[in-house]
């Protein structure tokens, strides 16, 4: 479901605020105010990152439209998406206006190239997500520590109310970018749930993904058809 006009107003203001924020020298986190530093992808998108435990995570969803060897990833907006077995991306509701905050939704074939992340980084694996969640106290608590704060209704955030337990104490800043369903044109759950692919295959047609909801503090792990469109977060090598 597309967000209301007030969400778009907030989105623009939030993006402007992020530009101001990126020029600051540091960001508070649960790891003694770890300084925020940056990495740039092949498209010129700049990402901040923070240390959480022993891992270094990007603060934003991946936004690239090219692999790190320069190969273009096809933008697929039509029904051919459901039959692909090759890399592709799209934007939520096929609207590029969602890109500045949420980034594209990728199919798992893009992840599986091993070249989606900037050089020196990689798409987080199932094991790395597990390490993150365990460090933050387990799946029932980690979601609140990872979610960005604020709500759509109060025009203070991107999550629908209640954005349960959200503190963003890690600086991870998880956003509710929704998803693209694998076999139809349908998009769903924007502002309600964030989904992220892992780099780990589950079966011939499925791979692991993690999601965080607006109404829970939990981080959940499932496996999905590789043709689903999800967000991506990267970890430093």
Helix orientation angle between 126-135 and 139-146, rounded to the nearest 10 degrees:
90
Mean pLDDT in runs of 10 for the chain (237 residues)? 45 45 36 66 97 97 98 96 96 96 97 98 98 97 98 97 98 98 89 98 96 98 97 98
Plot region of 141 (φ>0 → left; ψ -120 to 50 → alpha; else → beta): alpha
Whole-number Å distance between alpha carbons of 203 and 193:
24
Confidence (pLDDT) at 36: 54
Whole-number Å distance between alpha carbons of 96 and 139:
32
Read off the tokens for 180.
């693209």
Helix runs in 103-214, H state only: 108-111, 126-135, 139-146
Confidence (pLDDT) at 184: 75
Whole-number Å distance between alpha carbons of 214 and 207:
23
Is the separation of the CB atoms in 172 and 190 below 8 Å? no
What residue numbers bound the domain in which 146 lies?
5-236
Read off the tokens for 59.
């603060």
Q: Which of 214, 126, 123, 219 is nearest to 170 (CA)?
A: 219
Give the chain's domain count.
1
């Amino acid at each position: 479901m597309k967000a209301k006009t007030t969400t778009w107003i907030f989105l623009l203001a939030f993006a402007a605020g992020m530009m101001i924020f990126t020029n600051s020298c540091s960001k508070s986190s649960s790891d003694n105010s770890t300084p925020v530093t940056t990495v740039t992808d092949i498209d010129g998108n700049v990402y901040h990152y923070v240390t959480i435990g022993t891992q270094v995570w990007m603060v934003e969803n991946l936004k690239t439209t090219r692999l790190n060897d320069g190969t273009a990833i096809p933008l697929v907006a039509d029904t051919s998406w459901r039959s692909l077995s090759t890399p592709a991306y799209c934007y939520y509701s096929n609207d590029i206006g969602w890109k500045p905050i949420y980034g594209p939704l990728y199919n798992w074939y893009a992840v599986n190239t091993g070249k989606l992340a900037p050089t020196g980084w990689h798409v987080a694996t199932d094991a790395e997500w597990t390490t993150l969640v365990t460090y933050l106290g387990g799946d029932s608590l980690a979601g609140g520590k990872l979610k960005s704060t604020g709500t759509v209704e109060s025009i203070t955030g991107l999550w629908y109310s209640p954005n349960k337990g959200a503190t963003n104490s890690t600086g991870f800043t998880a956003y509710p970018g929704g998803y693209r369903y694998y076999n139809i044109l349908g998009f769903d759950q924007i502002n309600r749930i964030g989904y992220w692919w892992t780099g780990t295959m589950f079966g011939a047609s499925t791979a692991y993904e993690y999601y965080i909801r607006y109404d829970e503090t939990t981080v959940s792990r499932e496996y999905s058809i590789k043709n689903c469109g999800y967000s991506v977060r990267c970890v430093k090598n």
